[in-house]
Every structure is written in C-alpha cells, then in structure tokens.
C-alpha cells in the first residue's frame, strides 16, 4: 500500500484541522480521535454509522493490529501515513499513530430516564469529559448541555471521557426551553450552588425523576437556569472555598444514583 507522506494531502489536512479547530469541527459537523483506545472505541461503537477517514502508521499497525483491523472494517477510507505526518497531525506530545474521523452522532435521552445531569456553561473540556465518564459509570441516564459548554467532541473532552461520549445519551437544548422541557417530562430540577440555605447533600430526598445542574467553573449556575430550578443543593465542605466542577458533579451523581 502506498504511504502518504505529504502534508498537502486532503485527508491529512482534514484530520489535522478536526483535531486542532473547534470552528472547523462545527462547520464540517465532524470530529476526530487519535490513539489506540479512542480509535477502537469509535470502531466498536454501534451508534457511529461509519468512520469517514482512518489514518495509521506502519508502526501502529504492528503494535495495535486489532484496532487497525476494526477501524479499517468500518472506514470509508483508510491509508498508511509516515511517522512525520503522525506527529504533524497529532494533538498529543506522544502520538500513537492512529487517527479516525467521523460525523458527529449521539443518542436522545431515553423515555424512561430517571437521573440527568445538566451542564450549564461548564467550559473546561477536561471537566466535561470527566463528568460524562462519571455519569456513565454511575448509571446516569443522560447529560444535557446548555450555555456554551466545552465542545464534547473536542480532543481533550474525548480523552477525558475515555470514549463515554460515544455511549452516553446527550442533548443540547436552548437554555430558555430547558425548564419547560424537563418539567414537562416530570423532572424536578436541582441546582448545585454555594448557598448554605440550600438543601444539604445527604439530607435531600431525591424524587423519582431528578435533574441536577452543574454550573460554570467560575460563575456557577447562570441566573437564567437558576430561575427554572425547583431546589438548590449544597455540598457541605470545610477547608476549601469550593470544589472542582467535575468533583462536585461526581459527588452529587453518586448520591442521586443511590436513591
């Protein structure tokens, strides 16, 4: 098989831009992953209709043969690239030589959902990815994104989620319709806030259908979203001003999952 070695190659340019540019991902309605784990997760994901482009080095084919075979089977186009191009395309310091691109996809919130987490302007991709991964681990039924959260298909989010993005139900409604939609489905909405007059976590009796809002790392829950929440929820802490958004979300999701 011919080895691609030019940076001007169309597929090389597309893959690099998908990894580097959020605007390009939005315009193309696509995303890209790299590395053995995420390429294998994408190849094995039943919700992903196809891998549009799959690029890999000869060394990667020798080291990760199963991933290469799985991705090639699902790919509309695959090709070998040089090690130099692997470093050129990569978003990491130590590329593994595997890259895959696909159209954005997802699954809707299930009709029988009982536990949801709402991310209100959570801007750090590491936090977003970690919350998605934790939500899957704890059996949360879906993740809702409002108010310009970090791109769930960015390389950093995907790495932090370890592939959970591909399996978790998620939607991105407008903030102004969020309350009407969730209340219409029978959910009570709790806002995680630094307010000692709020219900203390551990004392809250969560209803059958509960959605918990996690706010922006610096600004917290937006005024607009706070206005549609039924209750405020407070995590009692000592010795620190606040908790990281992903840590706070994990603690609350653990509590809601128990009930």
Task: Determine the topology of domain 115-258 in CATH.
Answer: Alpha/beta knot (3.40.1280)
Asked if the domains 3-103 and 115-258 are classified in one and the same CATH topology, the answer is: no
What is the DSSP code string of 129-197?
HHHHHHHHHTT--EEEEESSPPPTTSHHHHHHHTTGGGTS-EE---HHHHHHHHHHTT-EEEEE-S-TT
What's the pLDDT at 114?
95
Task: Determine the topology of domain 3-103 in CATH.
Answer: 60s Ribosomal Protein L30; Chain: A; (3.30.1330)
What's the pLDDT at 239?
72
Domain ranges for the chain, please list them: 3-103, 115-258
| More confident site: 112 or 1 | 112
Tell me what the mean pLDDT of segment 19-38 comes to: 95
CA 236 – CA 251 distance, rounded (Å): 11
pLDDT > 80? residue 221:
yes
Query: What mean pLDDT value characterizes the chain?
Result: 92
Question: Is residue 163 within 8 Å of 193, Cβ to Cβ?
Answer: no
Tell me what the mean pLDDT of segment 27-31 comes to: 95
Other C-beta atoms lying within 10 Å of the C-beta of residue 166: 23
Question: Is residue 175 within 8 Å of 163, Cβ to Cβ?
Answer: no
Q: With a threshold of 0.85, does the pTM exceed it?
A: yes
Question: Is residue 129 within 8 Å of 158, Cβ to Cβ?
Answer: yes
Q: Provide the pLDDT confidence category of residue 35 given band limits of 50, 70 and 90.
A: very high
Distances in Å between the Cα of 247 and the Cα atoms of 11, 30, 198, 243 are: 38, 29, 19, 6
């Amino acid at each position: 098989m011919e080895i691609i070695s030019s940076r001007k190659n169309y597929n090389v340019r597309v893959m690099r831009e998908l990894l580097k540019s959020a605007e390009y991902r939005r315009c193309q309605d696509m995303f890209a992953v790299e590395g053995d784990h995420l390429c294998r997760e994408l190849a094995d994901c039943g919700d992903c209709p196809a891998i549009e482009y799959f690029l890999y080095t000869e060394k990667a084919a020798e080291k990760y043969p199963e991933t290469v075979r799985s991705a090639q089977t699902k790919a509309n186009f695959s090709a070998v690239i040089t090690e130099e191009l692997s470093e050129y395309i990569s978003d990491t310091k130590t590329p593994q030589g595997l890259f895959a691109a696909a159209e954005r996809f997802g699954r809707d919130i299930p009709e029988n959902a009982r536990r949801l987490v709402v991310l209100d302007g959570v801007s750090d991709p590491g936090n977003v990815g970690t919350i998605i991964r934790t939500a899957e681990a704890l059996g949360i039924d879906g993740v809702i994104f409002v108010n310009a959260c970090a791109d769930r298909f960015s390389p950093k989010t995907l790495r932090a989620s370890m592939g959970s993005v591909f399996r978790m139900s998620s939607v991105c409604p407008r903030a102004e319709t969020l309350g009407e939609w969730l209340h219409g489905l029978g959910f009570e909405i709790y806002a995680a806030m630094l307010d000692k007059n709020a219900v203390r976590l551990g004392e809250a009796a969560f209803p059958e259908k509960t959605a918990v809002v996690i706010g922006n790392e610096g600004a917290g829950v937006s005024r607009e979203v706070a206005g549609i929440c039924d209750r405020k929820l407070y995590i009692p802490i000592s010795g620190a001003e606040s908790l990281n958004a992903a840590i706070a979300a994990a603690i609350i999701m653990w509590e809601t999952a128990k009930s």
